[in-house]
Every structure is written in C-alpha cells, then in structure tokens.
Chain A
Amino acid sequence: MVGGWAIAVHGGAGVDPALPVERQEEARRVLVRCLTAGAAALRAGALALDVVEMVVRELETDPVFNSGRGSALTRKGTVEMEASIMDGRGRRCGAVSGISTVKNPVSLARLVMERSPHSYLAFDGAEDFARKQGVEMVDNSYFITEENLGMLKLAKAANSIMFDYRVPLTGADSCRASAGLVADVGGELQMMNGLPISIYAPETVGCVVVDRAGRCAAATSTGGLMNKMNGRIGDSPLIGSGTYACDACAVSCTGEGEAIIRSTLARDVAALMEYKGLGLQEAVDYAVKERLDEGKAGLIAVGRNGEVAMGFNTVGMFRGCATEEGLMEVAIW
C-alpha cells in the first residue's frame, strides 16, 4: 500500500528459546497494548514524533522489558538508562545516557531535542537538566526488580565461570546446570555479548512510526547490558546506531550494542535506500545479513510510503506492527 500510517514496536532481539509460556504471553500482551494505543492515536491524526514517544513511555513504564522500570542492572547493581528519539522531518534528534532517577528517559531525550541547544546529555548534567525541566523523578530503586537482581547474580557467576574455564558452555556442562542456565538450540548454548541468553535479556524497546502525512520518527530506550561496567554507553542513545529517522524512513535497533555501533546499523538501512536505491525490506535484509558480521541484532523500520519492515539474525525478536490497512501482528519467533 502506498501512503497511510504504520507503526512497529520491538521489545528486544535475542529471545531465550526456553522462555516460559507465561512470560511469552505477558510480553505479547504488552506489545498488543502498545500497538493498539499507537494505532488509535494515528487514526486520530497524531504526529509520528508524539506517537513514538507515547509508545516508548508505555514500554518504559511496564517492567516486562529492559527499559525504565525493569532495566538491566550495572555491575554495581544500579540502573543507568539511556534513550534517543529522532524526527525524520528535519532530522532533529535528542538523546540521554546515564539516567538514574528520571521515570521516562525517552521524554527527557525529547526535551533535550526541544528545550536545549544540544542533542545529547548524560549523567549528572542530564539529571540536572531533568530537574530544571520538572520531569517526574523517582528513586533509583523504583527501576530495580527482584528478577533482575537475580539475573545479575547469574551474570556475575557466568562471567566468572567463563573466565575460569575458558571454554564455551555447551551440551550438558555441569557448571551450566548449576548456574541455572538453559536454552540451547540444536545442542549449542545461545550466547549474546558473552552471556547465555537466559541471562543476557537484551530487551531494549523501540518504536518507529510513519504518520498520515508521511512523516517518520523513531525512538529507542534501554537499561543496557546486564552487569555492564558503570558508565558504559550502548547503541540505543547513539544516532545512526540504535536510532535513525529521515524523510525516507525510521529505524530502531536492538541486540548486541557493540555490534550495532560498529555497523552504524540504523543509519545504514536509510543509506542503503538513499544511496543504493534499495527498497525498505531489501535494505533491512541487507543490513542484517551483510553488516553485522558475527554480531547478533534485530531492527524494525517504517518507510514514508506506509511500509513496515523487520529483520533479525537472532533466535527471535519481540515485535509487533500495525498499518492503516488494518494489519496488526505480534510475534516473537
């Protein structure tokens, strides 16, 4: 279809194949809820930028995915969140990193874009700006869930096991069993960023939208990598890596942050369209297949013509999309 609005959301690429059914259902419910809200807004004529912000706020507030409440924990057991937002019209952008008390990092990123002379603020400076803007602030403990505290312990154990044994965990390793690790596909343990997938939990969230006027926008938000070094910045707040929007399309990525940065994944999808003349899905497929090398990641994209495209080289990506034509689809595998 040419024209019309479209929306896509993701809750992370790289899913534990042994994820319990209740967890899968819970994730689907959240994605459906967000898509429905986004679609309703678009039907009512909302702007792309407003819709991506609204949907990502919803995902941040829900503890299911790795953003806002429910964020992965740093090695010190704290939460440091980051987010970015980009308006395809004019390619305005805003980003934040090192956020520890702002309830909705994506909204702070938007304020950086609209109320500061800069594009990117981080750590103390970003928190000061937040205070001055009067955004909703909470204690860092608000973002921390019991489940993630447990995951952090496992991540630390997995790191020390791997360091000690220097062998990849495969088959029926007893240390794997004792660390409570699961998830092998075809006898091979699924790993991402050096962690078994059940612990890695790469559930960055993102949303891309094209509105009725053909304007594209993208937003991405995350708590980052489980057990990351304090101060570590991933791909989500980096324009061109985790997030990108221009006149032609909007893209949001998820997965191994370092791989996404190295391949400037989000910008590359748009560059393939702009400079190589590929269509949206072709560009997405090319980027995922040719640009990631050994890296594991996924992305969602919309085009100004109302198209939606998604791609991932991981086992699964929490995702969903809806179009003005009436398509509504949520999937994990």
Chain B
Amino acid sequence: MGWAIALHGGAGDIPFSLPEERRAPREATLRHCLDLGVAALRANRPPLDVVELVVRELENSPCYNAGKGSVLTTAGTVEMEACIMDGNTNNCGAVSGLSTVVNAISLARLVMEKTPHIYLAFDGAEAFAREQGVEIMDPSHFITPENIERLKNAKEANRVQIDYTQPIKANSTNDQGDSQIGTVGCVAVDNHGNLASATSTGGLVNKMVGRIGDTPIIGSGTYANPFCAVSATGKGESIIRATVARDVAALMEYKGLSLKEAAAYVVEKVPKGNVGLVAVSANGEVTMPFNTTGMFRACATEEGYSEIAIWPVDSNGISEDSQK
C-alpha cells in the first residue's frame, strides 16, 4: 500500500529523432506536473483533487494536446473534451465540444458535482460553464501556430491525424504517417486505496466538427472503481471499440489478473500503434504500457520509485530519462 500517481501526455509514433527543442519543454512539463501531483498526495489531498489539478496543469501547457495547444478540427476550430471519475463512488463527469473553457477537466468535475447528469456537450456545456462562472477565453486563446501548421499539413496529406510532434511531410515513409499524441491524463491512489482518473484532449487533427473520441466516454478513455484507475490515449476509435479503461478493471475483478497483467493484456489486444495507458491500483501499484513507438509519461510511488520517459525502457529497466 501507499500512494501512487501516473500521468501521460499522449501515446503515438514519437520519432526517436525528436529534436531537443521539441522534447525539452514536454519533459519539463511532465516533471513539473509529477512534482505537483506528488506534493498534493503527500499533503493528503484526495486523489480526485490531485488528478484534477495535474490535468489542469497539462491543459494549461501549450505543448500538449489539451486546453491551450489543442489540435484543430477540419474547420480550424478547437473542440475540447474531458472526463473525471471517482473510484470510490463510481461518480463521473464528462464534457465535449468546448471552445472557450480554459479547463475542461474542471467543468467535467462540476457536471459531476453540480448537475443530476454525467455528460454535457457543445452549446449546453458552454451554457453550463457560464452559469458556473468558470474561466473562459476567446477561442483564439487555445490555438497555437504549431497546430495551425499541423492542420495545414494534414489537409495537404488529406489525412486525419491523431497528432504528432513532427510536421508531416507529404512523402513521409511512416506507414500510417501519424504519431499519436492525442491526450493528457492522470491517475492517482492515496494510501487508503482511494482512486481517481482524469483525461482531457483536443482530439484528432483535422477531425470532423462534432467528432467525439474516447476521452469523455466512461469505460473507454477514462475509468476508476475500487480496483484501479485508468486513463488511455491513442486512436479514439480503437479505444472505444476495445473499451480499454473498463477492461483493465474488469480483468482484475472478474479474472483476478494483477494490474500489470490486466493492462498489458488490454494493450496487446488493440492493433499495434493505437493505444497507451496509465493505471494505478488500490494497492499503490503503477503501470504504463503502450503499443506505440512512445508515450510521454511520468509516475511516482510512495515507496520512492519514479520515472519520466518517452520511449520504452530497455530490458535493464533503465530509460534514458528516469535518472535525471
């Protein structure tokens, strides 16, 4: 037992040749968010508060695909979605189609706590945001030059991308051509076994207006119950069909698998290159499997283990970044 936390900034085809100027700010953000989350757990904040505050931080960072820095729809607009779930009560909240709300994850929490519903979307969600007086900004606030560029490239390549750290070249040799860094998320457990999960995203580059992905769908991108908390990332359509987040918990509960076994099993069943997830169990275990080239991720446990990484760790369990 003991507390544990894991967070991600998206799984995808992250090239090993990722230049320093694109890698450094992302790693720094992961480190900063991990520190915030760990401090909050040490201060005995409930996991529900911890995952919300970490995801808020990731949303505010322009280098990840959530909040500011969200990728653009085919119309050049931002449509954000998020979801939060409390493992103790199975209470949850979700939002989709937001264009002015600075922190979608906090609005999702308000849906959970202040309405009789679980999920609000588009105009109705924006109206609720105003009723609640949450921080809103003009839609242009969320749009970054990198994402305008990504959209332009995606249209030229005539592809829906999940997001990637490198601009697509028309003659890209990648078979899918896309790296999948679509989402941010955080899961946490305290030393009483209370669990929570939160996920937030701008979705897919060049997505159709009105497209909803896995993030706000309970049991697909986000899930928490008394066994574990899970946040997934990757190709939304694949995650939905595989009900990724719920399946990790179901394997533990119905088949008696451990957290690591359950998470590995689920990830393996999804077509390669499509999914990654972070998960913690009531016992304070952590796992961060992915079947993509890489996944921006970080985790820490009360026992003292911590890791910040992008690509798979080698067989010695050492990743390039974990000792920094």
Contacts and interface: CB of A to CB of B under 8 A. Distances in A.
Interface of A: 91-93, 95, 97-98, 116-126, 128-129, 193-194, 225, 228-234, 238-241, 244, 257-258, 261-264, 267-268, 271-272, 275-276, 293
A234 B116 CA distance: 11
Contacts of B255: 275-276
Nearest to A233: B119
Contact of B121 (A95, A119, A233, A272): A233
B254 interface: yes
Contacts of B128: 229, 231
B125 interface: yes
B124 A264 contact: no
**Looking at chain A's contact residues, is the secondary structure mostly helix, strand, loop, or mixed?**
mixed
A263 B246 CA distance: 10
A96 to B, nearest CB: 9
Given A121-B208, A262-B91, A231 B246 contact: no
A124 B121 CA distance: 11
Contact of A240 (B125, B219, B236): B219
B32 interface: no
B242 interface: yes
Contacts of A121: 208, 210-212
B115 A229 contact: yes
A96 B93 CA distance: 19
A263 B247 CA distance: 12
Interface in B211-241: 211-213, 217-220, 223, 236-237, 240-241
B250 A125 contact: no
A264 B218 contact: yes
Nearest to A239: B240
A250 to B, nearest CB: 14
Contacts of B109: none
A229 B92 CA distance: 17
B243 A267 contact: yes
B118 A120 contact: no
B212 A120 contact: yes
A119 B212 CA distance: 8
A163 to B, nearest CB: 12
Given A122-B96, A271-B250, A275-B251, A228 B117 contact: yes
B118 A271 contact: no
A93 B246 CA distance: 17
A194 B246 contact: no
B216 to A, nearest CB: 8
Contacts of A123: 97, 121-123, 210
Contact of B241 (A93, A232, A233, A268): A93
Contacts of B118: 233, 257-258, 261-262
Given A123-B210, A272-B254, A293-B90, 9 more contacts: A119-B237, A125-B211, A233-B94, A239-B240, A240-B218, A241-B219, A264-B218, A271-B246, A275-B250
A95 B124 CA distance: 19
B120 interface: yes
Q: Which 3 A-B pairs have CB atoms at the shortest separation, nearest pair first?
A: A231-B124, A125-B210, A125-B209
Contacts of A129: 208, 210
Contacts of A120: 211-213, 217, 240
Contacts of A262: 90-92, 118, 218
Interface in B193-214: 207-213
Contacts of A97: 121, 212
A293 to B, nearest CB: 8
21 contacts: A91-B241, A97-B121, A97-B212, A118-B236, A119-B241, A120-B212, A124-B209, A125-B209, A125-B211, A229-B120, A238-B218, A239-B217, A239-B243, A240-B240, A241-B218, A241-B219, A244-B243, A258-B118, A263-B90, A271-B246, A272-B254
Nearest to A268: B250
A122 B236 contact: no
B123 A231 contact: yes
Nearest to A228: B117
Contacts of A240: 217-220, 240, 243, 246
A258 B218 contact: no
A118 B203 CA distance: 11
